[in-house]
Amino acid sequence: MPSRSPEDGRSGGVPATAPWPPGPDEFRAIADSAPVAVWVTQLDRRRSFVNRAYVEFLGVSYQEALDFDWREIIHPGDVARIVAESIAGETSLRGFELIGRYRRKDGAWRWLHSTSQPRWDTAGNHIGFIGVAHDITEAKEAELALREREAQLSAFINQSTAGFGQVDLEGRFTLVNDRFCAIAGWSRAELLGRTMQSITHPDDLVRNVPLFERAVRDGTPYTHEKRYIRKDGGIVWVNNSVSVMRRPDGEPFGVLAVTLDITNRRISEQALRQSEETLRLAIEGAGMATWELDLATMEGAWSPNRFDLLGMPREPGLRGTVEQWFARIRPEDRERVRITTQRCFEAGEPYAIEYRIRRADTGEERWLQSHGVRIDYGDDRPSRFVGVSFDVTERKRAEEELRASEARFRTIFEQTNDFLVTTTLDQRLTSVNPAVLAALGYTEDEVIGHSIAEFMEPDHFVRSRAALEQKLREGGSTRLTVTVHAKDGSELIWETNSHLVYDESGNPIGLHAIGRDMTEAKRAESHLRLLIDELNHRVKNTLAIVQGIAQQTFKGGSDPVAARRAFEGRLAALSEAHNLLTRELWAPVPMSRIIGDAVAPHGGGAGRFVIEGPDLILAPKTAISLALAIHELATNAVKHGALSQPQGHVAIRWERIDARGGPRLHLTWSEHGGPPVAPPSRRGFGTRMIERGLSAELGGSVKIDFVPEGLVCTVDAPLPEVPE
């Protein structure tokens, strides 16, 4: 107790002039550190000091705490008593205590236990009180709870329908409640002079005594039903739950029976059976079949519709066996049912199971759901297994259909190559299918819950956001092409189609999107674009060549008919070279093919040409120039040279010469067996084409010699490196 008597103050060796407090500061420090409220009052009841805990309890300033009327915060249920006790205490000029509820600053009612002691000055005059208050709320609440439990318990024992009869280890009654007396039909005084054996029906003692002796010996509790013989000679059936009472050291000192009067239950068995029948009808009306199985004989009563459920004829006695039932269970389910029933039979576990049967009559498969319990009697009557079954085939089928449908959708979700994505309305991913994860290289954890913005080009996300807003405004679906970032940094182009998902009341709750990888398609598209550009270039280039050929062929002064024929021949040569290049997809082509194709229109197939040389490869552009040059030479040979005579022929030979500075091509065109050759008066397109065009193209020298025995054209050029 933190309160201090005047004697304590004096014996503390404090100077007589200031016996109490020892010093304002010191007293304040001590008082403020105390977890209890402390106050000091004057004779006029005004407080001259309160400590920190006092102030904190009130939640006001120090000055307000000094003036505070504490009666204002006493619980209405306590205020009259406390005020009265307080006045009495003060008047007595002795220490006094108050216990009651006071309102703390937070509004909570707290139980406070205050102790007030009178203060005396050195002359022995009463000068006021000093008080201390403890918060005892927790202790008080615990006490109240305990008291409540105690009251409940005693009420339960004294007013309950249960009788309590306690006997010593020999069976002599030591304690009985009113209810037990009423049930047993003896007064308390009469019972306390008797043993429980003496009032138990002799027929029941045979079972009762061994159970009682075992309980005393081993402490085994038991429940049984037996008869008491009342003082008036009447019989009362009771259900007793019996347990051993022990001293704190564990030594048994008595046996307690909690006794229920079950005479009425036994008497009204007939009525009960009737109500059971009613219940059974109700159960069967609800499609439930019932059974009772005697676990000693493994047979029992079946409700008529249990026979119907199994497709069996109703037996005249409406009884069935476990074997009959098991025979109907589908072999795949039989073991499972056997194990479950076994647990119920042996361990008393509640029985609940779904299994398939095959109806005895139609052979149809049906699903049954069954619930059962083991009923024990605590006496020598055998336990029974009772329960209900009902047909759940339709529900099972619906479930299976749902499961199959779910599985189908799941299969689609998991196995499609398209990307399936669901998001919240703020575009956070809620699910993605494996195709998404495979394409992006992320695990599910790395994407679920994340915003789609993390996986997208920023401006594409802005477009996606805008598309979402459009859908929220107008409904429908939107298509977008977006660039998506895979984990490895690669960019994928996805074409997505998304629509809103709505809840049952029509509010949008999220987004479903299906996406397709267009990366390859887009690549193909840009490749095609390149090809078209290239084609455009080639077409323009070819037209430029045609323009050049036309310009050269139709120079002023030439014979129109001959010029047209020459033009056609040149175009044909150009076209032939293009054909070859097109066949080879503009890849480098072998020289023999170029030359062979170029001379073919001029009797190339009739043995007029000798074409010999290694299989050198020419770039497409070089091939065109060479083809045009050979065409010019062949045209000239047919018109004026060796091929104008039946016996004339042309030899085209080339070789690869490895010289310093790289390999060189050496090619000769020589005509034989033609008329004597004279140099032409002017060099036409053909000659220029050959000498200048080809040499420029090949980067070497091309020379035409008008040798009288036959024209010779010599080509000497570096062999161009042909890119593979």
Partner 1 sequence: MSARRRILVVEDEPVVAMCLEDLLESLGYEPVGPASRLAEGLELARTEALDAAILDINLGGERSTAVAETLAARGVPFAFASGYGSPPEGMGDRSRLIGKPYREAEVAAMLERMLAG
Q: Does residue number 41 form part of the binding site for partner 1 (CB under 8 A)?
A: no
**Residue 115 near partner 1 by CB under 8 A:** no
Among 262, 295, 437, 619, binds partner 1 (CB under 8 A): 619
Q: Interface with partner 1 includes 549 (CB under 8 A)?
A: yes
| Residues in binding contact with partner 1, number by CB under 8 A | 28
Closest CA to 633 of 669, 683, 591, 609: 669
Strands lying side by side in the sheet with 491-502: 429-432, 419-423, 508-517, 491-502, 477-485
Q: Using CB under 8 A, which of 18, 206, 528, 543 touches partner 1? A: 543
Between 673 and 684, CB nearer to partner 1: 684
Q: Which stretch binds partner 1 (CB under 8 A): 278-286, 395-403, 490-498, 545-553?
A: 545-553
> Of residues 217, 410, 692, 703, which one binds partner 1 by CB under 8 A?
692
Identify the DSSP state of 722. P
Q: Which residue, among 714, 712, 688, 720, has the nearest Cα to 701 in the 3D structure?
A: 714
* Nearest alpha-carbon partner for 648 in 690, 617, 677: 677
Site membership for partner 1, residue 697 (CB under 8 A):
yes
Strand, coil or helix: what is 39? strand
Asked if residue 618 binds partner 1 (CB under 8 A), the reply is no
> Binding residue for partner 1 (CB under 8 A) from 547, 582, 645, 701?
547
The residue within the footprint of partner 1, chosen from 65, 630, 694, 713 (CB under 8 A), is 694
Pick out residues in 298-337 that bind partner 1 (CB under 8 A).
none
Q: Which window, 160-168, 189-197, 534-542, 590-598, contacts partner 1 (CB under 8 A)?
A: 534-542
Determine, following the binding rule CB under 8 A, whether residue 545 of this chain makes contact with partner 1: yes
Instruction: Assess 636 for contact with partner 1 (CB under 8 A).
Output: no
| 18 is an interface residue for partner 1 by CB under 8 A | no
Q: List Cα–Cα distances, 508 to 426, 448, 505, 570, 684, in angstroms.
A: 11, 20, 9, 72, 82
Nearest residue (CB) to partner 1, 182 versus 546 = 546
Nearer to partner 1, 433 or 695 (CB): 695
Question: Helix or strand or coil: residue 583?
Answer: helix
The region of 64-72, 102-110, 244-252, 529-537 touching partner 1 under the rule CB under 8 A is 529-537
The amino acid that residue 180 corresponds to is F
Nearer of residues 198 and 547 to partner 1, judged by Cβ: 547
Residue 536 CB, nearest approach to partner 1 (Å): 5
Closest CA to 123 of 6, 226, 298: 6
d(CA 376, CA 222): 12
Nearer to partner 1, 309 or 628 (CB): 628
| Binders in 43-82 for partner 1, by CB under 8 A | none
- Report the C-alpha gap between 8 and 536 in whole angstroms: 118
Structure tokens at 645: 């005579």
Where would I find the beta strands (DSSP E) of 231-311? 235-246, 252-261, 288-294, 299-301
541 touching partner 1, by CB under 8 A: yes
d(CA 98, CA 89): 9
| Comparison of 514 and 550: residue with beta carbon closer to partner 1 | 550
- In the sheet that 96-103 helps form, which strands lie side by side, from edge to edge? 47-50, 37-41, 126-135, 109-120, 96-103
Stretch that binds partner 1, among 60-68, 125-133, 487-495, 689-697 (CB under 8 A): 689-697
Q: Which of 536, 579, 645, 701 binds partner 1 (CB under 8 A)?
A: 536
Contacts of 578 (CB under 8 A, 6+ apart): 542, 624
Report the nearest approach of partner 1 to the CB of residue 714 (Å).
Answer: 18
User: Which one among 334, 359, 463, 621 touches partner 1, defined by CB under 8 A?
Assistant: 621
For partner 1, the closer of residues 436 and 589 by Cβ is 589
Which residue of 244, 546, 571, 617 would you call a contact of partner 1, by CB under 8 A?
546
- Sequence-separated (6 or more) residues with CB below 8 Å from residue 241: 221, 223, 257, 258
Cα distances from 412 to residues 356, 409, 420, 444, 502, in angstroms, run: 31, 5, 10, 18, 22
> Which of 258, 689 has the CB closer to partner 1?
689
Residue 304 is encoded by which pair of tokens?
Answer: 């008529």
Yes or no: say if 131 and 116 are a contact pair by the CB < 8 Å rule: yes
3-state secondary structure of 715: strand
Please select the residue that binds partner 1; options are 86, 240, 498, 552, rule is CB under 8 A: 552
CA distances from 584 to 88, 155, 698, 719 (A): 126, 110, 21, 21
Q: Which residues pair with 358 in a beta bridge?
A: 365
The smaller minimum CB distance to partner 1, of residues 287 and 680, is found at: 680
Q: Does 529 bind partner 1 (CB under 8 A)?
A: no
Residue 548 engages partner 1 in binding (rule: CB under 8 A) = yes
Query: Minimum distance from CB of 574 to partner 1 (Å)?
Result: 9
By CB under 8 A, name the binding residues for partner 1.
Answer: 533, 536-537, 539-541, 543-549, 551-552, 619, 621, 625, 628, 685, 688-689, 692-694, 696-697, 699
